[in-house]
Amino acid sequence: MITGKRVLLQGNEACVEGALMAGMRFFAGYPITPSTEIAEQAALRLPMVGGKFIQMEDEIAAMAAVIGASAAGLKSMTATSGPGFSLKQENIGYAALTEIPCVIVNVQRCGPSTGFPTQPSQGDVMQAKWGTHGDHPIIAIAPATVAETYTQIIRAFNLSEKYRVPVIYLMDEIVGHLREGITLLRKEDIDIIDRKTEVRGGKAFFVPEGELVPSMPPFGQGFRYNITGLMHNESGFPTNSAEIARRLITRLMRKIDDNLDDIIRFEERNLFDAETALVCYGGTTRSVVSAMESARDRGIKAGMFRPITIWPFPDKQIAEIAKKAKRIIVVEHNYGQILREVERAAAGQCEIKFLGKIDGTVILPDEVLETMLNF
Amino acid sequence: MSTEKPSALISKYLRTQHLPHIWCPGCGHGILMRDVAKAIDNLKIDNDNVCLVSGIGCSSRIAGYMDFNTIHTTHGRAIAFATGIKLAKPEMTVIVVAGDGDISAIGGNHLIHAARRNIDLTVVVFNNDIYGMTGGQYSPTTPKGELGTTAPYGNIDRPFDISALAKGAGATYVARGTAYHAVQTIKMIQDGISHKGFALIDCISACPTYYGRKNKKGGAVEMMKWQQANGVSVEKAAGMTAEELAGKLVIGKLHQEMGVPEFTEEYQRIIDRFTVGG
């Protein structure tokens, strides 16, 4: 492992390097722009550390292989983009119900459908939460820089292992293809979380009182059990019991809902006296920061709130901002997705305006500034 | 439920607490499940070292009943899940059990590509020519002209020969058994597991409830008798004309190719470049 060094990396490459630090030892993927470099880097790097890479026959198979490898004990990841993310959804739901840790990188591109394959977008924010059918737990993280792509992917793996939940790594074309100098971490600089593997209560999905996450003994190590995408009991056997199903789904949702402070991360800038709070994430961040600084130069009290964890959404933090600021401007590369979450969390406490783009072009600092000036 | 003590085979390989199984009376799947158990017993493979992967459908419920590392996955994707498991733990015996719709319709892509890779999986198809779980719709193996709930005027699709499909895609062991020909089928599953590479055993099952009733094939006994009457060994078939073979089931090892590199071993060789004096 190359560590402690200063290197120039593309966001997509940094994602793989961070994943390897987190302990990723399996990657299954399928080529798709603009995420392909992640598969390429994984193919190159994994065998060097004794890990496995496979290019599957399609996106669905890649997601399935990732879940299979994780069930057998390896930390596993796949990477895709728009259309591929759509294809993976059924199996993401399977991972959520069966509580198999995995990380799904989605380097967002401009959609819908084939759209603009090489152009940036943040149009999959809602899909990250609700893409698969049924109520299910999910975590989504959106890095804004190459350095953050490198460090937050480690968190993505850690959270996936800790809560046994699929984590969506919601990159975008801007962050994925950006090149920046970053400092690689050393093993001793980071905390790594591994799933619990000891058998408890004699049952695969047994959860002791006061806990929410079962242990996950890997296949092939002597504790034989069943995994199914059907509603199941603590043994992992299918059930038709409404009571067991209600308890299961409630527990799955509570894994997230009861741990918001552990899961939610965000960045705040200049919010202490801000009258105008800009809300952005991922690839829109640079333009927003630049516009905020220009606005400050002109005497406008502007600040920024940037969720790093997109799902679960930082409701509490938005509500606090809405209480203090006069207005919130939501900036995102879509038709208004996080906008609705902000409106919901702000609950009418301040004015809310939206700046979005759906044409594959980048939101520029001047456009953000203009929106502030014209509010 | 019977109070009779289960046989040694059942005690060793089935999760008896989850019995009785959900399959209909007369379904061929119970016999084929026994064949899988018997094959593993004959090979003396430790239960802990067996992973059984299934998709969705009647046959796929086998995962809950057999006492291995079992995973009941999504429709059509069992082979793709199994590929991840096998790559992660190449030392495990990984068996996929799937129905005809699961493996050759929604999962057809995974079937041909796993065969092409020659990854060491053993796919046991419980082929009953129908979608049973959903109530009798025609599948890719339903013969032309037969009835299904979605083929009320007779099936106009040409059926797949799953064995030929697997062979064409590069599978290095292919055999066809039936629920009736249990002794031979057990041997084929054994040989498929022992074979280093992608093996597929197309096991003709029987669905008296939906396929049999709809197509007036009689009950379970008549459907078994049909398998008995129409099963022709590979050896015997070699001396028969195409006309004589029409409507027959050729039973036995249909294809085996030795010496083809196996996928996980090939991958290990790449890893070894970095660890063994690479």
- Can you tell me the distance from the alpha carbon of A177 to that of A158, in angstroms, rounded to the nearest whole number? 25
**Mean predicted lDDT score pLDDT of chain B:** 96
Above 60 in pLDDT, residue A2? no
> Are the beta carbons of B50 and B68 closer than 8 angstroms?
yes
How far is B165 from chain A, CA to nearest CA, in Å?
A: 17
**Mean predicted lDDT score pLDDT of chain A:** 97
Interface test mutation site (partner A, options B17, B85, B272, max chain A beta carbons within 10 A): B85
Q: Does residue A26 sit at the B interface (CB-CB below 8 Å)?
A: yes
Q: Does residue B111 sit at the A interface (CB-CB below 8 Å)?
A: no
CATH classification of B8-275, choosing from 1.10.3720.10, 3.40.50.670, 3.40.50.970, 3.60.15.10?
A: 3.40.50.970
Chain B positions touching A229 (Cβ under 8 A) are 72-74
Strands (E), chain A: 6-10, 24-29, 52-55, 75-80, 102-110, 116-120, 139-141, 166-172, 179-183, 226-228, 266-269, 276-279, 302-307, 309-311, 327-332, 351-356
Q: What local confidence, expressed as pLDDT, does residue B2 receive?
A: 57
pLDDT digits (tens, 9 = 90+) for A129-142: 999 999 999 999 99
How far is A36 from chain B, CA to nearest CA, in Å?
A: 20
Q: Do domains A6-189 and A268-373 have the same CATH topology?
A: yes
- Tally DSSP H helices, then E strands, for chain B: 13, 10
Q: What local confidence, expressed as pLDDT, does residue A4 receive?
A: 76
How far is A147 from chain B, CA to nearest CA, in Å?
A: 28
Q: Which residues pair with A181 in a beta bridge?
A: A8
pLDDT digits (tens, 9 = 90+) for A279-310: 999 999 999 999 999 999 999 999 999 999 99
Mean pLDDT within B28-45: 98
> What are the extents of the domains in chain A?
6-189, 268-373
| CB within 8 Å of chain B, chain A residues 225-254 | 225-230, 237-238
Above 50 in pLDDT, residue A50? yes
pLDDT digits (tens, 9 = 90+) for A325-360: 999 999 999 999 999 999 999 999 999 999 999 999
- Can you tell me the distance from the alpha carbon of B220 to that of B208, in angstroms, rounded to the nearest whole number? 5
Q: Does residue A197 sit at the B interface (CB-CB below 8 Å)?
A: no
Q: For the purposes of burial, counting CB atoms within 10 Å of the CB of A339, is it exposed (0-12), middle (13-18) or buried (19 or more)?
A: buried
How far is A310 from chain B, CA to nearest CA, in Å?
A: 28
Backbone angles phi, psi at B99, to 5 degrees: -85, 175
Q: Is the peptide bond before A34 cis (omega within 30 degrees of 0)?
A: yes
pLDDT digits (tens, 9 = 90+) for B152-171: 999 999 999 999 999 999 99
Q: For the purposes of burial, counting CB atoms within 10 Å of the CB of A246, is it exposed (0-12), middle (13-18) or buried (19 or more)?
A: exposed
**Nearest one of A68, A91, A94 to A80, comparing CA atoms:** A91
- Can you tell me the distance from the alpha carbon of A332 to that of A351, in angstroms, rounded to the nearest whole number? 17
Tokens matching residue A99: 């509580």
Mean pLDDT within B158-187: 98
Chain B positions touching A65 (Cβ under 8 A) are 80-81, 83-84, 87
Percent share of chain B, pLDDT over 90: 96
> Which of B67, B92, B113 is nearest residue A220 as measured by Cβ atoms?
B92
Q: Are residues A57 and B110, on separate chains, in Cβ contact within 8 Å?
A: yes
Q: Label residue B278 by pLDDT band (50, 70, 90).
A: very low
Q: Label residue B276 by pLDDT band (50, 70, 90).
A: low
Establish, for the pair of chains A and B, how many residue pairs have beta carbons separated by less than 8 Å. 137
Q: What local confidence, expressed as pLDDT, does residue B192 receive?
A: 98
Q: Label residue B1 by pLDDT band (50, 70, 90).
A: low
| CB within 8 Å of chain A, chain B residues 65-84 | 67-74, 77, 80-84
Percent share of chain A, pLDDT over 70: 99
Q: Are residues B80 and A61, on separate chains, in Cβ contact within 8 Å?
A: yes
Q: Does residue A222 sit at the B interface (CB-CB below 8 Å)?
A: yes
**Is A6-189 a domain of CATH 3.40.50.970?**
yes
Tokens matching residue B205: 């099952």
Q: Are residues B113 and A56, on separate chains, in Cβ contact within 8 Å?
A: yes
How far is B61 from chain A, CA to nearest CA, in Å?
A: 9
pLDDT digits (tens, 9 = 90+) for B112-156: 999 999 999 999 999 999 999 999 999 999 999 999 999 999 999
> Which of B49, B77, B88 is nearest residue A60 as measured by Cβ atoms?
B77
Q: Are residues A26 and B15, on separate chains, in Cβ contact within 8 Å?
A: no
How far is A68 from chain B, CA to nearest CA, in Å?
A: 5
**Distance, C-alpha A374 to centroid of its chain:** 33
pLDDT digits (tens, 9 = 90+) for A108-126: 999 999 999 999 999 999 9
How far is A228 from chain B, CA to nearest CA, in Å?
A: 5
Can you tell me the ipTM of this complex?
0.97
Instruction: Give the dihedral of Cα atoms A172, A173, A176, A178; nearest 10 deg.
Output: -120
Q: Does residue A205 sit at the B interface (CB-CB below 8 Å)?
A: no
Residue in chain A closest to B68 (alpha carbons) equals A224
Q: Into which CATH architecture does domain A268-373 fall? A: 3-Layer(aba) Sandwich (3.40)
Strands (E), B155-243: 173-178, 199-204, 231-233
Which run of H or of E encompasses A154? helix A146-163
Q: Label residue B275 by pLDDT band (50, 70, 90).
A: confident
Q: What local confidence, expressed as pLDDT, does residue B4 receive?
A: 76
> What are the extents of the domains in chain B?
8-275
